[in-house]
Amino acid sequence: MATDHAEGSSEAPASETGSGVASAATTVHEAEGTATKPWSISGTFEQSLGSGTFTAPGDAHARTVAYSWAFVLRGSYRLTDMLTASLRLDLDKQLTVTAVDAGSKAREFYFRDIRLGVGAEEIYRDEQYTGIAFGASSQLRLPTDTWSRAAGRVLRWDNSATLSRTFEDVGPGSLRLSFMETLRKDFGPRARDRNDASYLDTCRSIAIDSAGDCVSNIASANWGLVHTLSAEYNFFEKWTVSLQLLLINTFYYGLSGSETPERLAATGDAPVTDATIGRSRYAIDAADQRDQTWGILEVGYQATENIGLALGLSSLQAPFIQSGGNSKALTFPFWDFATPSNNQSSVYFDATFTY
């Protein structure tokens, strides 16, 4: 399985998302004994190498090697035969000095948003005609992450609906196909206050200009949609191959001059302009939008009753290859071949213990 920090934060810049820390919707190897008790606990330790690690030394645009670790602790409790409550804690750290960490300092340690959720994997199944099952879940993310606090976020609320179909006896195993649609809502201020003393302290390193000023976009995320397609093939009892593709649409608050408070001005009584609110002079007053694709390929092996191992590729990037101000082609969603030195893709290895 792959762990998650980048998708969990709409504040995460593209350069931050290149580690192997990926989406939570990938395969979770569950110990066989967990079905007999109402609760389970699992811990996943992950190590990842960014795609820039494999860039030719002669590449003038090559970044330094990107190497990081992550740890995810999960707990769940079965409330009813259908409903399960969950808790998740994420920790991660970039071990190399590279643009991929994008923090306010090098090798920054992150304690990500705490997640509390409740879900039903199968609410209804159409046994007679299609065999399609319907599930749903709801999750709250408490703002313990650096970027969540920098944005002043109070709460993130994700609500998901899932359609899935399992095909038995496909070769030596079974194939599960699923589609999940997630509606996300962020609660908090429309924008960050640049006059706040803590603003620069939490500014990403890649967003600080030569004068030491933070030039990051100060508009906060308003809401988003996450569309997830997954395929998982389980075979020979212990092996799993999974593929997952996410399209993430994030919509930000608009920051037109009439809507932006004067306190966002860069200095004193200076008027609010496109420059002082960090917006292009060519931008329109409508809310900004950001699109990303997330591709994950993984091979998993259940080594023992309680230990699962996985090796995979993760790539979180823009859906188009940019040429100047134009989009010239679609990116390959499972690896960044166009700009590998940006570390937007990674190779990761996971070890999971479940009790």
The three-state (H, E, C) secondary structure of the chain, written as one string:
CCCCCCCCCCCCCHHHHHCCCCCCCCCCCCCHHHHHCCEEEEEEEEEEEEHHHHCCCCCCCCCCCCEEEEEEEEEEEECCCCCEEEEEEEEEEECCCCCCCCCCCCCCEEECCEEEEEEEEEEEECCCCCCCEEEEEEEEEECCCHHHHHCCCCEEEEEEEEEEEEEEEECCEEEEEEEEEEEEEEECCCECCCCCCHHHHCCCHHHECCCCCECCCCECEEEEEEEEEEEEEEECCCEEEEEEEEEEEEEECCCCCCCCCHHHCCCCCCCCCCCCCCCCCCCCCCCCEEEEEEEEEEEEEECCCCEEEEEEEEEEECCEEEECCEEEEECCCCCCCCCHHHCCEEEEEEEEEEC
What is the pLDDT, as a whole number, of residue 62?
60
CATH code of domain 14-354: 2.40.160.40
Task: Give the Cα separation of 122 and 119 in Å (integer).
Answer: 9
Of the chain, the percentage scoring pLDDT greater than 70 comes to: 67
State the pLDDT at residue 118.
98
First-to-final CA distance of the chain: 16
**pLDDT confidence of residue 206:** 54
Full-model pTM: 0.81
- Write down the pLDDT at residue 19: 36
Question: pLDDT band for position 220 (50/70/90)?
Answer: confident
What's residue 140's pLDDT?
Answer: 98
What confidence tens digit (pLDDT) does each residue in 174-215 have?
A: 999 999 999 999 999 887 665 565 555 666 655 566 666 665
- pLDDT tens digits, 137-185: 999 999 998 878 877 889 999 999 999 999 999 999 999 999 999 999 9
Q: Can you tell me the mean pLDDT for 53-63?
A: 67
Nearest to 120 by CA among 167, 178, 79, 157: 79
Residue 43 has pLDDT above 70, yes or no: yes
Q: The tokens of 17 are what?
A: 């998302």
Mean pLDDT of the chain: 80
Q: Which residues of 294-328 are buried (b: 16+ CB within 10 A; e: fewer)?
A: bbbbbebebeeebebebebbbbbbbeebeeeeeee
pLDDT 10s digits, 9-33: 444 433 333 333 334 333 444 454 5
At residue 2 the predicted structure's pLDDT band, cuts being 50, 70 and 90, is low
Tens digits of per-residue pLDDT, 314-348? 999 999 887 666 667 889 999 998 888 888 899 99
The confidence score (pLDDT) of residue 136 equals 98
Higher pLDDT, 295 or 318: 295
Q: Are 245 and 232 in contact (CB under 8 A)?
A: no
pLDDT at position 159, please?
Answer: 98
pLDDT digit string, tens, across residues 235-260: 999 999 999 999 999 998 876 544 44
pLDDT number for residue 301 = 98
